[in-house]
Amino acid sequence: MNRFFAAMFLSALALVAQPVDRTKAPPTPPIPEYKLPPVYETKLPNGLSVVVVEDARFPLVSARLAFQAGSKFDPQDRPGLAEAVASVLTEGTKSRTSRQISEETDSMGGSLSAGAGADGLTLSGSALSDNLPRLLTLMADVAMNANFPQDEVALYQQNRIQSLRAERSQPAYLAQEKIAAVVYGSSPYAHIGPTEAAVKSLDPKTLAAFKDARLVPNNATLLLIGKLPARAALLKNIEQQYGAWQQKALPAAPKYDFPAPKRQIVLVDRPGSVQADIHVGRLAPTRASADFFPLMVGINVLGGGANSRMFKDIREKQGFAYDAHSEYDTHRESGDLQAITQVRNEVFEPALKAVLAEMDQMAADPVPADELSGVKNFMAGMYLLRLETQEGVVSQLSNMKILGLPNSFLETYTARVRAVEPAQMLGVAKKYVASGDAAIVVVGDASKIGETLKKFGEVTIAKAE
């Protein structure tokens, strides 16, 4: 035994003694493909889609009840309605009070919440595996019988108005709000949140009408992942809990009239601002597009982290900003990309020039192989980390259903990222990243930066409400 340890010690010394070239990053080991656990899918007679994934590593179950009922379905005079429905959904049913729902959830060692995005509204739950029948019962009661008590609606209104005022005091929120309106025009994705007037107009009847119209089984998918009972017993339980849920004809889909991208410059006047929030963006393709992966990789090269071009130039080299990054947000019917930074008024002009120059550079020259390899490895690795947990997998599967994408999208993601070539990226950059057709939205003090901004084109000035 002593000889074994002596040999190991000498081997370790030999390795330590080897010279290390610290000018080169260590090689990245091969990144594996992601393989989903076995997925079983079925549909109840009432139209409810059911997705079951066995993951017996831990005695836990994660559940999602995902509806095609996001903010794009908000009436024009009530932006934020889907968000309000989600926020108050778990605060009472015909047979349970908000407190009873909370106490029952705690007794299961679990959680229950709801949230709404642009495309979907999702009821999320978790519990210890032994308590899965109770979790299914509770989620079914909330989905079918939420009654939006007046006191809970009033509390939501009070809290949401205060949080909305806090959001609207931030220039970053004002910039996101304005660029969504500019890029999406009159389409349903043009608003990112409610107005105070819309929040004040809410009442239980309005929330219940939205729920009754859109939170129906033929517009929903129930997803379960974790340590599950035998499939026959599980499906019988699901049928007992959700089988009597009545399907309904769905309201007409909203119209998507996306404006053609073009150069527009909007200055949101915020008197007294000592810095300018810069957002340069335009419409972009959905995840179903052949352009998605080349563009996604390109956006990460542009501004996807501390090794990105925007970060290295605008922050590290020029010292214009603390943060400089890019974003690519996709919805079911469209998407948008943005280059974003916040800079002092004194360096506003060179900083905006730098943002536009980085975007145009992406469309002018192919990305070098070593730079591209590093970005692709980073993207693939981060993607795999997001799918390490039950919550990560069920969230991604739920997102696939809301976006209308196949489960295979998850399994092929890393391979399709790694398959992106410089020529593909250059082609999509010319179509989407070049700054010529991008809108420029700036939030700042018009008296300080207004004249400078006019050097970039005709400026429309809007007031910060």
pLDDT of residue 32: 73
CA torsion sign, 196 to 114 to 69 to 409? positive
The domains found in the chain, sorted by start residue, are 39-242 (3.30.830.10), 265-463 (3.30.830.10)
pLDDT of residue 4: 45
SS3 for 99? Answer: helix
**Residues facing 459 on adjacent strands:** 265
Which of 297, 359, 289 lies closest to 330 in space, CA to CA?
289
For 127-149, give one letter per residue: b (16+ CB within 10 A) or e. bbbebbbbbbebbbbbbbebbbb
Per-10-residue mean pLDDT of the chain, 465 residues long, equals: 49 55 68 85 98 93 98 96 98 96 95 97 97 97 98 98 97 97 96 96 98 98 97 97 96 92 97 97 97 98 96 96 97 98 97 98 96 94 92 96 95 95 97 97 97 97 88
Q: What's the pTM?
A: 0.91
Contacts 24+ apart (CB under 8 A), 163-170: 164/193, 164/194, 164/195, 164/196, 164/199, 165/196, 167/193, 168/464, 168/465
- 116-133 pLDDT tens trace: 999 999 999 999 999 999
pLDDT of residue 1: 43
Separation between Cα atoms, residue 444 and residue 464, nearest integer Å: 9
Separation between Cα atoms, residue 170 and residue 166, nearest integer Å: 7
| Percentage of residues in the chain having pLDDT higher than 70 | 94
pLDDT of residue 19: 64
Tokens representing 75 are 């009436």
pLDDT of residue 14: 53
pLDDT of residue 16: 52
Separation between Cα atoms, residue 76 and residue 460, nearest integer Å: 24
CB 125 within 8 A of CB 394: no
For every residue of 398-409, DSSP letters joined together read: HHHHHHT--THH
Count, residues in the chain:
465
For every residue of 207-221, DSSP letters joined together read: HHHHHHHHSSGGGEE
For every residue of 12-54, DSSP letters joined together read: HHHHHHS---TTSPPPPPPPPPP-PPPEEEEE-TTS-EEEEEE
SS3 for 137? Answer: helix
Which of 376, 307, 342, 291 lies closest to 449 in space, CA to CA?
342
